[in-house]
């Protein structure tokens, strides 16, 4: 009997060429779609619930790599209600940041593209249709040129590392004024400066005139992050996306920045999408929580439900991985066994199956759907399908 060909992770020359041709075709198509002038009917839609600011429905974001297509965001669905803080949590590489970049249409192109689903944004710039239904933008289908009308004004983002987001050759004042010039056509230099200094005052910066004339390298990490928040506030946004805004800061400054974000959310009546891997920050800040794993949402609920009654084995593992003040210092810190499956060849079954110690026979089947445990708490796990059937 001929020896079976060993499976390897290497690609043959013909396979590489096939992937390259497919990638070029896909990237060309999606880039053309973003540049194409569209009739508003192609990217205008309706909100399912007017109380929501953002509705993400079946979102898929892919990266076309030399080894194949990576589904970084895979059929993700959740909502961000008005005047709420929604925390998105999960380990590194689970798709949190790519989801937020998809909302802003800032995924690294041409390799990264939104390939499916909807991102419905309840914009104040849109009214109602002839039937009285509230109109909304479908950001996933919007041309880039049209997105400029809401990006930076109605939706803004605070990035993880402020030093890479601020331009080192321009003063803080120049960079803050630019926001006013872009989103308030016809504004004078004096008014733009006054607005920028007012924003610096709002985020608790002492001597704002001095900071206004400073360069980024002359400020500390905490001050730079406050400048980024001031820049985000300059357009009076309805949604602030905070992508791990305290990662590069020490604990004391972290607490100040988080308190500042909470204060801004209450005073301005905006919503915040807070992305972090720190469960302590989520417990303190969020109203609702979305747990992601390998590009999918695996559990969502209110902050009390997720922390007092975690359901998915991954969520339980995340909580056990966090050290507590009551933890036994003699015992090693818990870590979830195994590793995340390859994002190129994801299995049809539950992605967490290989790391889960509570598997049942049903776990061998297709990926589980969401089971509603309460009106606000749902989980993608066969364990709770079984319990639901028993209760019925």
**Which residues lie closer than 8 Å to 139 by C-beta, 6 or more apart?**
102, 103, 105, 119, 120, 121, 147
* Residues 28, 65 share a domain: yes
Whether 208 and 176 have beta carbons less than 8 Å apart is answered as: no
Q: Is residue 347 part of a domain?
A: no
Q: What pLDDT is stored for residue 367 in this prediction?
A: 93
Q: What pLDDT is stored for residue 390 in this prediction?
A: 55
**Cβ-based neighbour number of residue 270 at 10 Å:** 22
Distance CA 149, CA 139 (A): 12
Q: Which residue, 320, 341, 362, sits at the end of a domain?
A: 341
Q: Which residue, 199, 218, 236, sits at the end of a domain?
A: 236
**Residue for token digits 């990264």?**
112
Residues written for the chain: 392
Q: Is residue 350 part of a domain?
A: no
- CA angle 56–156–61, rounded 5-degree value: 35
* Residues 294, 203 share a domain: no
Look up the pTM and report it.
0.90
Distance CA 113, CA 190 (A): 40
* Residues 255, 110 share a domain: yes
* Residues 185, 272 share a domain: no
- CA angle 97–80–160, rounded 5-degree value: 25
Q: Is residue 387 part of a domain?
A: no
Identify the CATH number of the domain in which residue 332 sits: 3.40.50.300
**Residue for token digits 């504004």?**
187
* Residues 214, 302 share a domain: no
Q: What pLDDT is stored for residue 388 in this prediction?
A: 59
Distance CA 381, CA 362 (A): 10
The range of the structural domain enclosing residue 59 comes to: 19-154+239-341
* Residues 30, 124 share a domain: yes
Q: Is residue 361 part of a domain?
A: no
**Residue for token digits 């290497």?**
10
* Residues 250, 214 share a domain: no
Give CA separation, 169 vs 122, 172, 215, 217, 347, in Å: 36, 10, 7, 9, 47
Q: Are strands 68-81 and 271-276 parallel, antiparallel or unpaired?
A: unpaired
Q: Which residue, 212, 236, 260, sits at the end of a domain?
A: 236
* Residues 127, 257 share a domain: yes
Please list the pLDDT of the chain residue by residue as tens digits (392 residues): 444 444 556 788 899 999 999 999 999 999 999 999 999 999 999 999 999 999 999 999 999 999 999 999 999 999 999 999 999 999 888 999 999 999 999 999 999 999 999 999 999 888 888 888 889 999 999 999 999 889 988 999 998 877 788 999 999 999 999 998 988 888 999 999 999 999 999 898 989 999 999 999 999 888 998 999 999 988 889 999 999 888 777 888 888 888 989 999 999 899 999 999 888 889 999 999 999 999 999 999 999 999 999 999 999 999 988 877 777 777 788 888 888 888 888 888 999 998 998 998 899 999 999 999 999 999 999 998 866 555 55
Q: What pLDDT is stored for residue 2 in this prediction?
A: 43
* Residues 169, 27 share a domain: no
**Which residues lie closer than 8 Å to 380 by C-beta, 6 or more apart?**
296, 297, 298, 299, 312, 350, 367, 368, 369, 370, 371
Distance CA 235, CA 249 (A): 25
Q: What pLDDT is stored for residue 272 in this prediction?
A: 96
Q: Is residue 8 part of a domain?
A: no
Whether 254 and 285 have beta carbons less than 8 Å apart is answered as: no
Quote the tokens at residue 298.
Answer: 């695996």
**Residue for token digits 């920045």?**
257
Q: Is residue 358 part of a domain?
A: no
Q: What pLDDT is stored for residue 9 in this prediction?
A: 63
* Residues 36, 118 share a domain: yes
Q: Are strands 296-302 and 371-372 parallel, antiparallel or unpaired?
A: unpaired
Q: What pLDDT is stored for residue 8 in this prediction?
A: 56
- DSSP sequence for 223-277: HHHHHHHHHHHTT--SEEEEESTTTTS-HHHHHHHHHHHHHHHHHHT-EEEEEES
* Residues 70, 47 share a domain: yes
Q: Is residue 376 part of a domain?
A: no
Q: Is residue 355 part of a domain?
A: no
Q: What pLDDT is stored for residue 254 in this prediction?
A: 85
Helix (H, G, I), strand (E, B) or coil at 201: helix
* Residues 114, 43 share a domain: yes
Q: What pLDDT is stored for residue 6 in this prediction?
A: 46
Q: Is 68 left (phi over 0), alpha (psi -120 to 50) or beta?
A: left
Q: What pLDDT is stored for residue 152 in this prediction?
A: 87
Counting the structural domains of the chain, the total is 2
Quote the tokens at residue 255.
Answer: 């607490």
């Amino acid at each position: 009997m001929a020896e079976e060909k060993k499976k390897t992770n290497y690609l043959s020359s013909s396979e590489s060429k096939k992937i390259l041709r497919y990638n070029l075709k896909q990237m060309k198509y999606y880039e053309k779609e973003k540049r194409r002038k569209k009739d508003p009917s192609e990217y205008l839609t309706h909100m399912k619930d007017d109380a929501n600011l953002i509705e993400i429905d079946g979102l898929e974001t892919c990266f076309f790599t030399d080894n194949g297509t990576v589904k970084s965001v895979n059929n993700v669905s959740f909502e961000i209600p008005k005047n709420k803080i929604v925390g998105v949590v999960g380990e590194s590489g689970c798709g949190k940041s790519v989801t937020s970049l998809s909302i802003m249409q800032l995924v690294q192109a041409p390799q990264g593209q939104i390939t499916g689903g909807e991102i419905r944004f309840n914009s104040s710039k849109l009214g109602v249709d002839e039937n009285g239904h509230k109109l909304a933008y479908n950001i996933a289908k919007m041309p880039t040129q049209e997105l400029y009308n809401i990006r930076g004004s109605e939706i803004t983002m605070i990035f993880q590392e402020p030093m890479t987001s601020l331009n080192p050759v321009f003063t803080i004042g120049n960079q803050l004024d630019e926001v006013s010039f872009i989103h308030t056509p016809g504004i004078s230099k004096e008014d733009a400066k006054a607005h920028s200094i007012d924003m610096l005052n709002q985020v608790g910066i002492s001597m704002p005139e001095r900071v206004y004339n400073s360069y980024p390298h002359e400020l500390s990490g905490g001050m730079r992050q406050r400048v980024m928040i001031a820049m985000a506030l300059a357009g009076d946004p309805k949604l602030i996306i905070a992508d791990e805004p305290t990662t590069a800061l020490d604990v004391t400054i972290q607490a100040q920045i988080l308190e500042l974000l909470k204060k801004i959310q209450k005073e301005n009546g905006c919503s915040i999408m807070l992305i972090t891997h720190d469960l302590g920050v989520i417990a303190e800040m969020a109203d609702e929580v979305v747990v992601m794993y390998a590009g999918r949402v695996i559990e969502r609920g209110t902050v009390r439900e997720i922390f007092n009654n975690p359901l998915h084995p991954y969520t339980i593992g995340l909580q056990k991985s966090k050290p507590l003040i009551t933890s036994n210092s003699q015992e090693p810190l818990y870590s979830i066994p195994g590793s995340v499956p390859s994002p190129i060849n994801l299995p049809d079954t539950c992605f967490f199956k290989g790391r889960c110690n509570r598997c049942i026979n049903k776990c061998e089947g297709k990926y589980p759907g969401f089971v509603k445990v309460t009106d606000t708490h749902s989980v993608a796990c066969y364990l709770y399908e079984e319990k639901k059937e028993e209760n019925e």
